[in-house]
């Protein structure tokens, strides 16, 4: 359940005529395989409460739903037991997984010590983490996921707002784990500190293969950020240099479409990247104190200074003129951005924004695009050889984003470029980038069609490509007590989905006789 239901990529697609010829039933997406375990959080070694606290805030999953589910289902405490549990489930699709660095670190050190600044693991604890990682690799896990971003924080009452355990780990402490991954041709996946970004070079240097075997390393995420336009070309140059000059096996991960996010008030990880926003998030459980802080003139002054800093590293552009209200008890505000409202009220946009948070809290919902807004950049993004078109965060951040259909979006964009006579790439290369390239890089025996292989495939109808849009809808997750989340719709695009050689979805509906008790997918073990 780590980065729960995170759709990393779809593996197979078949051509149809001259063009392009279950995971969650409510999404009706074309995913046949997912990778779990990103961002250092996995649900393997620790008890239900510590497991829930380590990822429900990180991934914006409701703790009040997730914790009871873990308490009901979690009987495993090892990778072998987890795999046995997974293999008994009536899987709709295939699953592969990383093991989470935070998961093994808090198990080895105890959760309290694992969350302390300047508290390193002892040699014995490092040995325990080594054994846990090795056991996971023995069971077919594809590698280790780490996290160095300070935004990702603990949930629950005991350790609220502590950063996740992986953040507190030095790279010296990780050395034996990294060398084990290198030796076993496994993958190191992670996210750098997105505030300073300096330690992104740690991931790059770990991957180098001068006088040693290169380490498969992938880092989140390569995007054309609206608020930080220089970072895309810089990361591209650094990635190319480390691979060519450093003989590395390093890959960025990229979404192939506009990265649009949705917010309920300030309930979003994006507010963790600057001090004033972080202070608001830390008081999310104490609204009286939070509102008092918002009303403090000194706080407002600091908020205004921080939100308009032009040269500070940032993921969210913090431009309130690009923040559009889509739902609010005051219906007159819907469709307006905060600058427009500020002009109407003759107030500063930040004051308007903060006042609406006090008045409506999570009842005010707004949206903005933070990256990949310039289609003219897609050709270089799609063709860059040192990234993987595999970052979506789908299945996590349930009410903040929905990119379940990002492979369909990429295929549509590529086909449109071909139709206009200015092709971004061939359709064959597009499908390869979304399927076989990634299956091979992640050491998984999937992503292509061949005689004797298990048939996981999707057939799509190019005549319905206009139904692939940036629109999102709310729908309920039955297993989460009908908790609502954002989903994508692509009506008529999917002609058929086959998993494990069996048709599971056809003509906009699941096949007759489809039942939750029937098994289609399987646990995909690392090969080689």
Residues 300 and 426 occupy one common structural domain:
no
71-103 exposure pattern, b = at least 16 Cβ within 10 A, e = fewer: eeebebeebeebbeebeeeebbbbbbbbbbbbb
β-strand partners of 33: 9, 94
- Domain limits for position 92: 33-258+372-510
Residues 219 and 298 occupy one common structural domain:
no
Residues 437 and 454 occupy one common structural domain:
yes
Six token digits for residue 78: 């090892």
Among residues 369, 397, 425, which one ends one of the domains?
Answer: 369
How far apart CA 170 and CA 198 sit, in angstroms, is 14
**72, 168, 282, 456 from 223: Cα distances, Å:** 39, 26, 28, 30
How far apart CA 232 and CA 258 sit, in angstroms, is 14
Residues 302 and 358 occupy one common structural domain:
yes
Does any domain span residue 26?
no
Lowest mean pLDDT among 21-30, 190-199, 309-318, 433-442: 21-30
Residues 402 and 360 occupy one common structural domain:
no
Residues 102 and 193 occupy one common structural domain:
yes
Residues 349 and 315 occupy one common structural domain:
yes
Does any domain span residue 266?
yes
Does any domain span residue 217?
yes
Which of 60, 66, 67 has its CA nearest to residue 269?
Answer: 60
pLDDT band at 194 (very low <50, low <70, confident <90, very high): confident
How far apart CA 96 and CA 114 sit, in angstroms, is 27
Mean pLDDT of 389-393: 86
- Please tell me the predicted confidence (pLDDT) of residue 517: 73
How far apart CA 3 and CA 410 sit, in angstroms, is 23
- Please tell me the predicted confidence (pLDDT) of residue 6: 30
Domain CATH number, residue 494: 3.20.20.140
- Please tell me the predicted confidence (pLDDT) of residue 7: 31
- Please tell me the predicted confidence (pLDDT) of residue 288: 96
Among residues 369, 400, 434, which one ends one of the domains?
Answer: 369
Residues 354 and 376 occupy one common structural domain:
no
Supply the pTM of this predicted model.
Answer: 0.92
How far apart CA 8 and CA 15 sit, in angstroms, is 22
Sheet with 143-145, edge to edge strand ranges: 99-100, 143-145, 187-190, 216-220, 249-253, 387-388
Does any domain span residue 46?
yes
Of the chain, the percentage scoring pLDDT greater than 90 comes to 80
Residue 340 has pLDDT above 50, yes or no: yes
Mean pLDDT of 21-25: 32
Read off φ and ψ for residue 510, nearest 5 degrees: -75, 145
Among residues 344, 369, 394, which one ends one of the domains?
Answer: 369
299 exposure class (CB count in 10 Å sphere: 0-12, 13-18, 19+): middle
Mean pLDDT of 86-100: 94
pLDDT band at 456 (very low <50, low <70, confident <90, very high): very high
Alpha-helical runs (H) found in 89-199: 101-109, 111-114, 123-138, 175-183
Residues 364 and 385 occupy one common structural domain:
no
- Please tell me the predicted confidence (pLDDT) of residue 23: 31
Lowest mean pLDDT among 36-40, 147-151, 390-394: 390-394
User: Residue 221: is the preceding peptide bond cis (ω within 30°)?
Assistant: yes
Residue 3 has pLDDT above 60, yes or no: no
Does any domain span residue 2?
no
Which of 59, 71, 131, 122 has its CA nearest to residue 99?
Answer: 131
Does any domain span residue 22?
no
Residues 136 and 253 occupy one common structural domain:
yes
- Please tell me the predicted confidence (pLDDT) of residue 361: 95
Mean pLDDT of 269-279: 92
- Please tell me the predicted confidence (pLDDT) of residue 515: 65
Residues 350 and 395 occupy one common structural domain:
no
Does any domain span residue 522?
no
pLDDT band at 392 (very low <50, low <70, confident <90, very high): confident
Nearest-10 Cα torsion for 45, 50, 52, 53: -140
Residues 215 and 137 occupy one common structural domain:
yes
Mean pLDDT of 19-29: 35
How far apart CA 483 and CA 62 sit, in angstroms, is 9
- Report how many domains make up the chain: 2
Lowest mean pLDDT among 90-94, 239-243, 246-250, 465-469: 90-94
Does any domain span residue 226?
yes
Lowest mean pLDDT among 16-20, 213-217, 496-500: 16-20
Six token digits for residue 457: 């495939």
Direct distance between the N- and C-terminal alpha carbons of the chain, in angstroms, rounded to an integer: 25
pLDDT band at 12 (very low <50, low <70, confident <90, very high): very low
306 contacts: CB under 8 Å, gap ≥ 6: 274, 275, 276, 277, 312
- Please tell me the predicted confidence (pLDDT) of residue 516: 66
Cβ atoms of residues 225 and 231 within 8 Å? yes
Q: What is the DSSP track for 275-307?
A: HHHHHHHHTTT-HHHHHHHHH-HHHHHHHHHHH
Predicted confidence (pLDDT) per residue in 320-330, tens digit: 999 999 999 99
Residue 519 has pLDDT above 50, yes or no: yes
For the beta carbon of residue 324, count every other beta carbon within 10 angstroms: 16
Place of tokens 């789908």: 394
- Please tell me the predicted confidence (pLDDT) of residue 510: 85
pLDDT band at 30 (very low <50, low <70, confident <90, very high): low
């Amino acid at each position: 359940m780590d980065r729960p239901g995170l759709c990393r990529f779809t593996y197979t697609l078949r051509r149809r005529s001259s063009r392009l010829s279950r995971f969650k039933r409510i999404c009706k997406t074309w995913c046949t395989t997912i990778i779990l375990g990103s961002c250092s959080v996995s649900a393997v070694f620790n008890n239900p409460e510590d497991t829930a606290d380590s990822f429900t805030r990180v991934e914006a999953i409701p703790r009040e739903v997730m914790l009871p589910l873990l308490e009901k289902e979690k009987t495993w405490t090892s990778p072998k037991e987890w795999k046995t549990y997974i293999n008994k489930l009536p899987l709709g699709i295939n699953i592969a997984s990383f093991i989470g660095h935070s998961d093994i670190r808090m198990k080895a050190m105890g959760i309290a010590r694992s969350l302390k600044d300047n508290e390193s693991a002892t040699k014995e604890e490092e040995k325990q983490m080594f054994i846990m990682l090795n056991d996971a690799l023995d069971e077919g896990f594809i590698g280790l996921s780490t996290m160095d971003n300070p935004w990702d924080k603990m949930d629950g009452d005991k350790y609220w707002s502590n950063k996740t355990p992986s953040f507190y780990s030095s790279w010296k402490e990780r050395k034996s784990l990294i060398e084990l991954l290198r030796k076993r041709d496994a993958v190191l996946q992670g996210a750098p500190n997105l505030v300073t970004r300096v330690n992104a070079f740690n991931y790059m240097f770990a991957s180098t293969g001068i006088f040693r075997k290169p380490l498969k390393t992938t880092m989140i995420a390569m995007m054309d950020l609206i608020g930080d336009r220089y970072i895309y070309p810089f990361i591209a140059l650094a990635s190319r240099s480390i691979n060519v000059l450093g003989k590395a096996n390093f890959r960025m991960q990229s979404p192939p479409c506009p990265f649009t996010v949705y917010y309920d008030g300030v309930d979003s990880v994006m507010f963790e990247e600057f001090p004033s926003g972080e202070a608001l998030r830390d008081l999310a459980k104490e609204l009286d104190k939070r509102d008092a802080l918002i009303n403090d003139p000194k706080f407002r002054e600091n908020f205004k200074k921080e939100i308009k800093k032009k040269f500070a590293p940032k993921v969210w552009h913090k431009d309130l003129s690009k923040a559009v209200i889509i739902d609010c008890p005051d219906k007159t505000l819907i469709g307006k951005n905060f600058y427009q409202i500020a002009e109407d009220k003759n107030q500063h946009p930040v004051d308007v924004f903060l006042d609406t948070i006090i008045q409506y809290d999570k009842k005010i919902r707004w949206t903005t695009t933070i990256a990949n807004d310039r289609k003219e950049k897609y050709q270089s993004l799609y063709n860059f050889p040192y990234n993987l078109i595999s970052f979506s965060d789908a299945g996590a951040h349930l009410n903040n984003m929905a990119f379940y259909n990002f492979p369909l979006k990429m295929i549509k964009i590529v086909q449109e470029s071909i139709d206009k006579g200015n092709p971004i790439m061939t359709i064959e290369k597009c499908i390869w980038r979304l399927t076989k390239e990634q299956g091979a890089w992640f050491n998984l025996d999937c992503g292509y069609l061949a005689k004797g292989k298990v048939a996981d495939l999707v057939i799509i109808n190019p005549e319905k490509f206009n139904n692939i849009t940036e629109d999102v809808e709310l729908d309920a997750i039955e297993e989460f007590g009908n908790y609502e989340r954002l989903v994508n719709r692509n009506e008529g695009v999917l002609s058929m989905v086959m998993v494990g050689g069996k048709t599971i979805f056809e003509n906009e509906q699941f096949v007759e006789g489809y039942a939750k008790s029937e098994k289609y997918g399987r646990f995909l073990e690392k090969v080689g």
